[in-house]
Every structure is written in C-alpha cells, then in structure tokens.
Chain A
Amino acid sequence: MGNLITVLDPVGFAPKVTRKTLAPRLPTLEDQTVYLVDCRFDDSDVFFKQMQAWFAEHLPGVRTVLKPISSVYLNDDPATWEEIKARGHAAIVGVGH
C-alpha cells in the first residue's frame, strides 16, 4: 500500500432535520371538499380539469374545487392555504415535475 494521505472533507454543514407532524387522514372523502391545487406549471391546470372530471364521474359525493395558486410555485401562498383550511377538508397539489 502506498503512503496514506489525510485530506479535508469538502462538504458543507447540513441543518438538523426534525420530523414534522402530518395531518390526520380522513375516514372517507364522501361529502368532503377536496381542493385540486394547480401549481400553474407546465399545463397542470389541464391535468387537474381531467382529475376533476374523474371525481365527478366516479365519486360524485366528493366536492372538488379547482384552485390555482396566487402566484408562481416559488412563492408561498398563505391566502390559498388559509382558504383551503377554512373551506376544504383535503388537498391534491400538483403537478410537480
């Protein structure tokens, strides 16, 4: 074996990760309002219209609201989240690419 060399590690310092609490799941979607949150990226609105049609055909007891975010996906959107919290029961967010 050749000479051993000591070198420094080039990687930065990661923040400590602490688990966040996820929301309790719903027992059923029947009679619930599900927000379809369009992130306004690469035709995700077209995709969610199709998902909304799927709910209407297969689960008509589920109310769906197609909701585009207020700006671009890079920005937080507390107004939209507050609306969903107040008026909805669940959310489907997309389409992330």
Chain B
Amino acid sequence: MIKNILNLGDAALYCDFGSDVNQEINSNVIKYFYHIKKLNLRGITNLTPSYNKLIISYDLNIHSFLSLKKKIENIEIKENNKLEKNLIKIPVCCDNNFALDIKRVENKLKLKSEIILEKFFSKNYFCYMTGFVAGMPFLGDLNQEMRLKRLETPRVKVPKGSVGITEQFCNIYTFETPGGWNILGNTPQNIFDTSNQSNPNLVNPGDTIKFYRITLDQYNEIKR
C-alpha cells in the first residue's frame, strides 16, 4: 500500500501512499499509523499521518534511513483490517458573531446563508488527520457546490472553537491561531483537553463527525 519511501531530512522516513486525497488512500495511511504505533518500535520518535503520507521520525542514534526503511517495508498489513471508527457529535452555533465569513461564502458560492448551513449540517464528515496545532481535525468531504478557496489574506487570529471550510475540507480551530479558512460558526465544546493526557483529542483520524446546530442560548449554556 506504501508506494514509495523517501527520506525527509536525515531523521525521518517519508512514506508516500499516492497523490490523491480520498478516504480509501487515507484509510490506508491510518491503518499503517495505528499498526506501527502499536508495534512501539524502539527509536521511533514520532508518526505523522496526513491525507496520503505518513512521516516516521526516528532517533539517529538508533536507526539509519536504510535499516528503518527495510523494517517498515517488511510490515504486512491485511487490506481487510477494520479501522476503529467513532461517531462524534459536535454542537455548532452559527450566530452572526461567530459566522465570521458567512457573507463571503454567500457571495462566492452564490447561495443563501440558510441553504449553505443546511447543506453543511446535512452531512457526516470523515477525519483525515489531526494536527498543525494540537488537536485540530481536518475533516471532509464537503459537497461539490460548497467548495471555495481560503481567504486571500489569512486572519492573524481565528477565535478558538471556530468551524471553518476550504476546498473539500472543514476543520475546528482548537486554539486561537492564525488561519485562512472560511468561518461558518463556533463550537462551545472543548476539542483538545490538555488535562486528559491519555486521550486529549476529542476527534481522531478515522472518526466520523456529525455537526448539529445550536442556538446562542444553548451555546452559552454549554460554555457555562
């Protein structure tokens, strides 16, 4: 399933699963990720799954590129290995104060805001990966008519909890951070919990997300 293994610098393997972004390729990445994680190989310092790549960082005192590459190439994963999937429901409030880019999205997609939100909430989304900042999930796929580019000029600060869309993807800003996604709403739910060290992420690669709409009162109730 790995097409090719290259080096990323002198202390990481760059495992290429293909160039397309789809759930089939991504599921293969995630299967490898969980399998290698479970093996708990000495000297592996990080695993980073993404849409169609898996990066394996290692301790140069323990491995060299060629020896570790061989080890990874020899791993056998059965195609029918089932992925563990959770369905996670996340409340989102689309009050004007939170839907920072709804006007822009209306203009770009040539759809009324109510239609945009209806389409957004009518679908379940697959978690391709988490990261960039702690716990941020990259979800997909949006329907074809919902796809647009990111902001021309990224925001310096996107509020924590913002739910945004770009191209075929949506995400949740787990921290206040710079970012350029089109913001449709905000969730009061904590997506990343520093105090829960064994499982800080609410959403993990392979999970399915169902967003549901809440009012501002409900939002404030949950926040309290």
Chain B binds chain A: no
Residues of A near any B CB (own CB < 8 A) = none
Residues of B near any A CB (own CB < 8 A) = none
